[in-house]
Amino acid sequence: MELFLKDIRNVNNANRHYAQKRKIISLLNKAENPLTIPGICKKVKLSIPTGTKLINELIETQIIVEVGKMETENGRRPSVYKVDPDYAYCIGVVILLKGISFSIFNLEMNEVYKFDNNDFILENTSKCLADVIAFIGNSISDSKIDLNKILGVGIGITGRINSQTGNSYNYFNFLESSLTSHLSEQLSVPVYIDNDTHVLGIAEQFFGEAKNVKNAFVVNLSRGLGLSIIANGEIVIGEQGFAGEFGHIQFAESDKLCLCGKRGCLGTEVSGYALEQNFKEQVQSGEISLLLNSKDISEIQYGDILKAAWEGDALSISLIHKMGFLIGKALGNMVNFLNPGIIIIGGKFVSAKEVLIDSIKSGMTHTALSLPLRSCELIFSSIGTDAAIKGAGAIVLCKLQLI
């Protein structure tokens, strides 16, 4: 992986060739179709002799492969080339309050290995950090993929993250160095981190509904509530990387205490955690649910409630409707403020699309001005519930300009 990871800031002929090869690989990995040698040279602004020499060297090291011939009306058909997608890999990891996920992707961002630990509990302790490192290390080993072919690890973690400095402020904040420095040293590969909601936004921007969209909101509605804001084609991270704490805007219609220590946060009424609490409160006040036929109330999690709503459970449907209306009202205010062209609902609540969509639209109608609302499309993520881990892996390829 020297070609991708070598420091080439010192100007000399060898490093110039490294830089030119990186441009060739970047071009081919981003291209929708394979290219000819003259086509590659033209796009990276190299002479045919120089470009041919560099491309042949990349072919010899099996980074670039011939994949066919270009169709022409007459004459000799030139060969076309692309990057071998399995020459190198990136890793995506998502660390949530309950659960940690690991995936390996090739250069085309196709998943080649996956492992989840749903028994994991995130804590701000040295032991938990050691468990995370062991989980990642063991997963790499179990995948049978050579560590030397790993370009890096992208991690999405809940809480406040400064992706520029690599610091995590809610979890693993006791280190003398940054979290990325510590993990890179322990895992022997480059590590990049960001907030779990930002990596969801990255996934939608590169692979989902926000592709080629300049202004969008990507809502991360799972156990918590977050928002990725895409403005003029860029994800807004803020001065220290904290932009998008949608769950902490003061909007809720209750006096519930939030995990942040404040009351009235939207996340206390709109989130998986809130759904669990509201469900238990309703049952304790006398409401009934089909879920109680198969599980004790103490065992019921928000995923069970989402599934029950899909199956027609009246209490679950009612709670999700109320939640949809509340988040719709909050999003309507945001529509007035930033005028997005599209709002994408992502996270685990995507499975409740049919239950949520009308109530969200109704809430937005209550608060949004008619003109910006009319030009704003509300859709649900098409990537699926694993979008965040794909975004985490994409961080690595973004850093290396391979996507």
Q: What is the pLDDT of residue 115?
A: 95
With cut-offs at 50, 70 and 90, classify the pLDDT of residue 252. low
Q: Which residues contact 140 (CB under 8 A, 6 or more apart)?
A: 91, 104, 147, 150, 187
Give 340-376 pLDDT, tens digit per residue.
999 999 988 998 999 999 999 999 999 999 999 999 9
**Distance between CA atoms of residues 139 and 13, nearest Å:** 39
DSSP letter for 347, please.
S
Helices (H) and strands (E) in the chain, counts: 13, 14
Q: What is the pLDDT of residue 7?
A: 67
Q: What is the pLDDT of residue 4?
A: 75
Q: Which residues contact 127 (CB under 8 A, 6 or more apart)?
A: none
Amino acid at 24: I
The yes-or-no verdict on residue 199 having pLDDT over 70 is yes
The yes-or-no verdict on residue 396 having pLDDT over 90 is yes
Strands 377-380 and 98-106: unpaired
**Distance between CA atoms of residues 379 and 100, nearest Å:** 27
Residue 6: CB atoms within 10 A of its CB come to: 12
Amino acid at 305: I
Cα–Cα distances in angstroms (integers) from residue 249 to residues 93, 156, 226, in the given order: 28, 22, 10
Name 88's bridge partners: none
The yes-or-no verdict on residue 59 having pLDDT over 80 is yes
Q: What is the pLDDT of residue 107?
A: 94
With cut-offs at 50, 70 and 90, classify the pLDDT of residue 53. very high
Give 20-38 pLDDT, tens digit per residue.
889 999 999 999 899 999 9
Give 383-392 pLDDT, tens digit per residue.
866 788 999 9
Cα dihedral sign for 32, 38, 40, 43? negative
Helix axes 37-44, 13-30, angle to 10 degrees: 110
Q: What is the pLDDT of residue 385?
A: 67
SS3 content of the chain, % helix, strand, coil (to 5): 45, 20, 35
Name 116's bridge partners: 101
With cut-offs at 50, 70 and 90, classify the pLDDT of residue 73. low
Find the range with the poorest average confidence among 2-16, 201-215, 234-248, 346-360.
2-16
Give 203-234 pLDDT, tens digit per residue.
999 888 888 899 999 999 988 899 999 999 88
Mean pLDDT value across the chain = 91
Structure tokens at 390: 């794909």
Euclidean distance between the first and the last CA atom of the chain, given in angstroms as a whole number = 17
Q: What is the pLDDT of residue 377?
A: 95
Q: Which residues contact 390 (CB under 8 A, 6 or more apart)?
A: 92, 103, 105, 109, 111, 203, 207, 383
With cut-offs at 50, 70 and 90, classify the pLDDT of residue 14. confident
The yes-or-no verdict on residue 174 having pLDDT over 90 is yes
Q: Percentage of the chain surpassing pLDDT 90? A: 71
Q: What is the pLDDT of residue 386?
A: 76
How many whole angstroms from its chain centre is CA 347?
A: 10
Q: What is the pLDDT of residue 1?
A: 64
**Distance between CA atoms of residues 26 and 36, nearest Å:** 15
User: Of 9 and 105, which is predicted with more confidence?
Assistant: 105
Q: Is 67 helix (H, G, I), strand (E, B) or coil?
A: strand
DSSP letter for 263, please.
B
Mean pLDDT of 70-98: 87
Helix axes 196-207, 387-399, angle to 10 degrees: 80
What is the enclosing helix (H) or strand (E) of 334? Answer: helix 314-338
The yes-or-no verdict on residue 276 having pLDDT over 90 is yes
Amino acid at 282: Q
Amino acid at 36: T
The yes-or-no verdict on residue 112 having pLDDT over 70 is yes
Find the range with the poorest average confidence among 250-264, 299-313, 374-388.
250-264
**Distance between CA atoms of residues 153 and 265, nearest Å:** 33
How many whole angstroms from its chain centre is CA 75?
A: 46
